[in-house]
């Protein structure tokens, strides 16, 4: 895949990342063909992630009026795939929420991703010693929220840490309804993170994720942090047979 084949460029900022060790059987039906579940320390993880999607441009150069800056909340897990001598480690999205219907429709059409459009709002405070971020979405007439709080200075994750495992998967895989999957590369610099002193997911998510996964992510997370984020390039996808 050519590094020059850019589908989208943007900045992903102020990421709240809540991570949960789950029974891998909960994810088997979501694993795209040609990939297998990735793990860390013998555990299989899913992550609830909320962030700001900023300065968005199609093909790296074309801003879309009224769709340049927006929010996203997603539930994702981690896979790997052998490509010759290379092991590609990637992310699969179970559900992605954005506030703009045109963005959701485009992502479903181009990549087959599980995007939906819902009302959203956020509150991020990154100045000073205290760092807080909260992302909310309205589902079934009620607001759900994803939040974290941290103190001190951000740092690059320690090599071999869970934080590095979560943040440094540089491929995306999308299971296709007609079979196979789409593989695409995501490039960005390593992210500095704050370890969260408190974090929570509030609200009923069963309509989005099903009862079992919703139950798994509404418990206390096994790890939680806030990532600064960076500019990101999403490359055009390739269909895998």
28 phi, psi to nearest 5 deg: -55, -40
The domain spans of the chain are 6-240
Report yes or no: 12 and 51 within 8 Å, Cβ to Cβ: yes
Describe the chain by its helix, strand, coil percentages, rounded to 5: 15, 55, 30
What is the helix (H) or strand (E) element at residue 44, kind and residue range?
strand 44-58
* pLDDT of 128: 76
* pLDDT of 189: 96
86 phi, psi to nearest 5 deg: -95, 135
* pLDDT of 2: 41
* pLDDT of 1: 37
pLDDT along the chain (241 residues), means of 10: 69 97 96 96 98 83 66 97 94 91 61 79 90 96 96 95 96 85 94 96 92 93 97 90 69
**Structural fold of domain 6-240:** Acetoacetate decarboxylase-like (2.40.400)
Against a cut of 0.85, is the pTM above it? yes
* pLDDT of 104: 58
230 CB-near residues (< 8 Å, 6+ apart): 11, 12, 188, 189, 191
* pLDDT of 139: 92
Report yes or no: 163 and 223 within 8 Å, Cβ to Cβ: yes
């Amino acid at each position: 895949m050519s590094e020059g084949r850019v589908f989208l460029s943007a900045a992903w900022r102020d990421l709240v990342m809540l991570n949960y060790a789950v029974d891998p059987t909960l994810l088997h039906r979501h694993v795209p063909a040609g990939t297998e579940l990735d793990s860390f320390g013998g555990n299989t993880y899913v992550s609830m992630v909320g962030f700001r999607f900023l300065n968005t441009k199609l093909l790296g150069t074309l801003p879309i009026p009224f769709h340049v800056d927006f929010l996203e909340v997603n539930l994702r897990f981690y896979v790997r795939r052998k490509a010759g001598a290379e092991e590609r480690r990637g992310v699969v999205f179970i559900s992605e929420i954005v506030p703009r219907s045109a963005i959701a429709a485009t992502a479903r059409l181009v990549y087959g991703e599980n995007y939906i459009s819902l009302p959203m709002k956020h509150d991020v405070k990154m100045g000073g010693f205290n760092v807080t971020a909260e992302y909310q979405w309205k589902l079934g007439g009620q607001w759900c929220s994803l939040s974290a709080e941290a103190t001190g200075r951000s740092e690059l994750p320690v090599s071999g840490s869970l934080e590095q495992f979560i943040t440094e998967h540089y491929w995306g895989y999308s299971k296709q309804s007609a079979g196979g999957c789409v593989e695409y590369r995501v490039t960005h610099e390593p992210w500095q993170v704050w370890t969260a002193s408190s974090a929570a997911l509030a609200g009923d998510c069963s309509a989005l994720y099903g009862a079992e996964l919703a139950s798994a992510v509404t418990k206390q997370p096994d790890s939680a942090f806030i990532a600064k984020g960076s500019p990101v390039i999403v490359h055009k996808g390739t269909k895998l047979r």
